[in-house]
Every structure is written in structure tokens, then in C-alpha cells.
Structure 1
Amino acid sequence: MKAVVQERFGPPDSLRLRDVDRPHAGAGQVLVRVHAAAVNPYDWHMLRGDPYVARMLGGMGLTRPKCPVAGLDAAGVVERVGADVRGFGPGDRVLGFCPGAFAEYACTTAPMLVPVPEGLTFEQAAALPMAAVTALRGIRTVGRVRSGQRVLVNGAGGGVGTFAVQIAAVLDAEVTGVCSAANTDLVRSLGAAHVLDYAREDFTDGRGRYDVVLDNVGNHPLRRLRRALTPAGVLVANGGGSPGRVFGAVGAMLRLAAANAVTRQRLRPILPATPDGPVHEDLSAVTALVDAGQVTPVVGRTFALADTARALRHVEEGHARGKTVVTVA
């Protein structure tokens, strides 16, 4: 099969499209014929092997990538199921977390998959797993957004942001989205009552106060982000833009923990959803929102499998609109 192979840590240009063996579905596993795979900041962190602390913790490999085939979010059709798999069979349309997603086939465990909602394309379905689950956790689980609250989403035009705006609106919050001028109409159409152009307005200037701020960008220091919160407000830091190749988001989490000790405001980190933890319930929750017509994936650009390096560079530049997706078949 064709696959995008990562033999060493490095820039996107280090990726190679190669012929590799098709993975085998063992007990409890599902082999998926991949039709589309989403690109996430997680992917370029894995590609470059940073932050370095993650290598020491065993999350990505010490001197070379643990998983030689890149990618994680996928949507496609079940090709084969291993022993003890219930609920899926060949021909089922599925989406979920599939390590090695930038390939014609990928293998994962059954709890990492859910059915594709009716009416979604594979490209739209692939956009859901990491970004939508991260947004759900940020808004509902960590932010605990309630009806009538004022919620601000920084980076509202990006992958997590487009989902977060919709989820907060579903919870009947008054949503303010911060994005580029090019994305203002999009963010408003997703349910934002107010939209700020980050190039012209600074939401941390203290003139507006919010019950919950979801920061997907990391382009403001913590002391200024706190100015945008009510006295008992919640900052949900998604780790976007976390500085430092050594500690990355870990350093930001430590700073939040230290600040929490001296303020009534709640400062909470949220790491991107990955297959390292329980995700099936959250995957089911976001697909239920899609089935109900309350959330719609936004796909900004698509790339062919052979152009995966270009797709990663596009996302790494930090100005992607909605989700960037690689089409496989």
C-alpha cells in the first residue's frame, strides 16, 4: 500500500511516499481503508519530535518516530475486523483515531472508532476526531459553559475554533470569536454573536470580560489573558503556540498551575485529544451533535496523499481555515 513514511524527526520535507506492507488487524482491532485523513498541529509536533520532554516520556520515540507512518485522524471504510470486535463489520463507514492515517490502510482498536454521521463526506468526517473532541472538552468539560455565559474563542477560524464556536452556541452561550478578517463571516455563520478581527482589536485590553476564554493560539501572555476574564472566570488553554521546543505545553501547564494558587480565576490546560486516553464517549458525543444538525465540520483545504508535506506546512504556518484534510481514496 502507499503510505507517507517518517523515518526521522525533521521538517515536512523529510516525509516520503513509499510502498509499505498493509497492517494486519489483530484481536480487538479494525483495519480501515482510509479515504481521508485530517492534519493537526499534533502531527507536525510528532513530525519534528518536539517538545523534547515528550520523547523522554515515550510519547513519540526517543531518537526516531515510534510510528513510522504519520497521521492520526481518519475516515474510511472497514476492510476487516479482528477477533473479539463487536459493532463493526466490513463495509461500515467509520471515523476516528487511526495511528498511521496518512496511508491507504490504517489499523486501530474498535473503541477509537464511531460510525460516520449520515450525509457527511469522508473529508468532513476526517475533520472531526481530534479537533471536535478537543473543542468539546474545552467548552463543555473543562470550561463548563452554561446558558447565558459570555464565551470567547481565540482562534475561532481554525480547526478546534470552528467546532468550539458551534458547541458553545449549542449550549446557549453568547459567543465572541477572534479570528482574521477573512474568517469573520464564517465565524459569525457558525453561531458567534460577536466577531473580533485580531489585527484590529485586542480582546485582552480589559474592555470586555468573559466567563470562559478558550485560547487556541497562545499569542498573549497569561497576565493579559486574565484581564479578559471575569473575577471568577475560566481560562481554557489549548496549548496552541506553547513556546519552547524543550518543554512545550508542559511548561505552559506548570505556569497555569502556579498562577492558580493566587487567583479566584480558574486557569485550566487542555491537551489535544489523542488515542492515549478514553475518547469513545467524546467521539460519540460530537457525532451526535453532527447527526442533530447542530455542528458542521468546516474543511478549508484538501491535499492529495502525495502532497501531505505541503498540507503539514500549511497547518504549521498557523493560518489554516477550518480543517485541512488529505484525500487518500
Structure 2
Amino acid sequence: MAAVPAMAEEKVMKAFVLRSYGSPEVLDLTDIDKPVPGEDEVLVRVRATSVQPYDWHFMRGEPYVARLMGGGPGLRKPRIAILGADVAGVVEAVGKDVTEFRPGDEVFAMPKQGGFAEYVCVREGELARKPKNLSFEQAAAVPLAAGTALLGLRDVQPGQRVLVNGASGGVGTFAVQIAKAFGAEVTGVCGTRNVDLVRSIGADEVIDYTKEDFTRNGRRYDLLLDIAGSRSGPACRRVLTPKGTHVVVGGPAGRWLQPVGHVFSTLAVSPFVSQRTFMADVVRCTENKQNLVTLTEFIEDGKVTPVIDRSYPFEEIPAAIRYQEEGHASGKVVITM
């Protein structure tokens, strides 16, 4: 009996390609060349990814002012062809200089792009082993959102009072848990329907913003992690102690300027006030691998658990982004392959 020839290695993959700015419908599911890892890169078979504001801002090229900025979407056409900043999957192949990983390893990462595809190449220095107690779906919810929260809370000390404005979203649900893991007393701000959720993940106090303005209740905090950006810089500084810290994550979306305008206006006054102000910019952070390792320790110790609002199959990424754009997700929106 004649031997059956071995099947040739697949040279193409499915990916959602962004060729022009627009609504989720501009994402084109098509066949493209499967990437080949460089000398210090790892080829990952993507098992899950997630969608978040980072993705749809790049998809729409908004705010327009961001197109003029270094690292932004690109002036006339998208700078990133394949979106997807979170990845969880299995190592398929490694470059010749890679020493830490080998085929079959379960990993996760924040490559900043490429997650909306069946395969992605990630630098070894950006990759970490997936937490053992998480599924791929759960792990894909972690990198960008939890990394942002960790970056904003890195200086929190046990016993300090932390306020998380926007506590029920992707970053916020991680922030509440991470602040508690650091030993802080945590207050979360959210809408009525998410009060029980925020309390269930560890918040010592929950403020319903539809019933109470957290900037006018007279309480003071050592750190405000401002994800929602729903109050002005002066109003936020009013809730801080004289040496408190205001961490800016984002703000209300807009076509022309926001949330960039809100972030920059808040940062601009920092040199003139006693409180410290900085932006939690995980995209430009050079320590994301170590941050993933730290997050893994929290997760495997049971101190942090991803909160997943909805899960979509790979083919429905446009629908997932459409839902994410509505701004009502409680926790993360993830994609399974």
C-alpha cells in the first residue's frame, strides 16, 4: 500500500484586515499569509482575544487629533492592518534566539496588534505563560485592561484609600481587585445596574453615580483611578488628599478631540498643584512582561479573577466591537477561536 504523503504546512490564515477607517463593517475577514517568527519572536496560535476601546478608536481613526500623534492610528489610512491587542494561545513555533518558550506552551501577551487573526508573532520579551487556573478565554481578558489597572495602582500602599471611577468596565473590574490585593480600602463608582457586581469583586464601598456625585460628598482619597473621565480635573482633585494621586486612564469618546483633550488638560495642570497626576499608558510601557507575571501571581493566588460580560466567536468580531462601542459592557468582551 502506497504511503500517504504528509500534508503541507498551511501557509495562509484567516484574519480581520483593516484597510480604511470606518464602522465595524470595514473589517474584512480574509485569507492572508501566515506570519513567520523572527529570530527573537514566537509564533502563537491564537485561541482567544478581546475587544476594547483601544481597538475601535484605531478602527475609526478617532479622535481625529490622534491621527497627528506619534503612535496614533495614522493620518490618512490605518497604521495597523490587524487589530487585537490581547492574545491567549499556544506556541506554534519559535525563532532561533528564543530560549524561554517552546511549541505547545500556553501563553498570553499584549502585542498591541495582530490578535484578530488565527496566528500572531510576539516578541519573546512581551510574552508570558498563561495563568494555570484560567481558560484561554479568561486569559485573553487580562493583558491590556489588567495591565492598565496595575500600572495606575503600582504605588498603592496597604491601608490607603483608593477610588475607582468607572469600576464596572474592563479596566475597572481589574482595578478594584488589584487595589484590594495591595491592601487598599477601595471605593468603586458605577451605575445602578452594576452596584452588586462591583461589591461582589471586593469594593468596600460602592457609589452609584446616578444618585450621588463622588466629587461633592466630602470624602478624601489617597488615589483616584479615573477611567470614566466623567468629571473635570478640578473636581477630581477636590476628592484627593493634599498629596494624593490622580491617575488618568481615559474619558468620554468624541470624534474630533476627546478623550485626548480631557487627558491632556488634566495632565497640564499637574506642575501647579500639590497632588500628583499621571496617565496610565500601558501601550507605551516597557515592563508589560513583568506586569503579566505579577498579574499571574495575583490570579493564581485567587486575588484577581477576570470579569467577562460577553463572549463571541471569531467570525463575529465586528458584532463584538459594535457592542463594546455602546459602552455598557460590565467587564470584558472576549473572542474565542
TM class by shorter chain equals over 0.9
Aligned to 2:300: 291
Aligned to 2:283: 274
- Give SS of 2:216's match: coil
**1:120 equivalent among 134, 143, 153:** 134
Does the CA contact (< 8 Å) of 1:112 and 1:275 recur in 2? no
TM-superposed deviation, 1:35: 0.7
**Residue pairs, 1:94-173, within 5 angstroms:** 94-98=107-111, 99-140=113-154, 144-173=155-184
Which structure has the larger Rg over C-alpha atoms?
2
Aligned to 1:74: 87
Amino acid in structure 2 at the alignment position of 1:81 = V
TM-superposed deviation, 1:277: 3.2
**2:273 equivalent among 244, 263, 277:** 263
Distance 1:310 1:108 in 2: 26
C-alpha offsets along residues 1-37 of structure 1, whole Å, 9 cap, x if unaligned? Answer: 2111111111212112112111111211111110110
Distance 1:275 1:35 in 2: 25
Distance 2:248 2:284 in 1: 20
CA spacing shift, 1:275–1:83, aligned 2, 3 Å:
farther
TM-superposed deviation, 1:244: 4.9
**Residue pairs, 1:154-303, within 5 angstroms:** 154-241=165-252, 244-271=254-281, 273-274=282-283, 277-303=286-312
Amino acid in structure 2 at the alignment position of 1:134 = T
Structure 1 runs of 4+ aligned residues shifted over 4 Å read 243-250
TM-superposed deviation, 1:322: 0.6
TM-superposed deviation, 1:182: 2.0
| Higher mean C-alpha deviation, range 304-313 or range 130-139 | 304-313
**1:19 equivalent among 8, 26, 31:** 31
Amino acid in structure 2 at the alignment position of 1:18 = T
Work out whether 1:50 is the aligned partner of 2:62. yes
- Give SS of 1:311's match: helix
Distance 1:312 1:64 in 2: 19
CA RMSD of aligned residues (A): 1.7
TM-superposed deviation, 1:323: 0.7
Name the count of aligned residue pairs. 323
- Give SS of 1:108's match: strand
* Structure 2 residue runs without a partner (length 5+): 1-12
C-alpha offsets along residues 268-313 of structure 1, whole Å, 9 cap, x if unaligned? Answer: 2222x22673311111111111122111111110111111111112
Work out whether 1:304 is the aligned partner of 2:304. no
TM-superposed deviation, 1:184: 1.7
| Higher mean C-alpha deviation, range 306-315 or range 47-56 | 47-56
Amino acid in structure 1 at the alignment position of 2:99 = R
Distance 1:253 1:162 in 2: 21
Does the CA contact (< 8 Å) of 1:214 and 1:235 recur in 2? yes
Amino acid in structure 2 at the alignment position of 1:116 = K
Distance 2:267 2:199 in 1: 33
C-alpha offsets along residues 9-67 of structure 1, whole Å, 9 cap, x if unaligned? Answer: 11212112112111111211111110110112111111111233443344233322222
Does the CA contact (< 8 Å) of 1:97 and 1:275 recur in 2? no
Does the CA contact (< 8 Å) of 2:251 and 2:262 recur in 1? no
Distance 2:94 2:148 in 1: 28
Distance 2:320 2:291 in 1: 26
Does the CA contact (< 8 Å) of 1:256 and 1:269 recur in 2? no
Aligned to 1:38: 50
Distance 1:86 1:20 in 2: 28
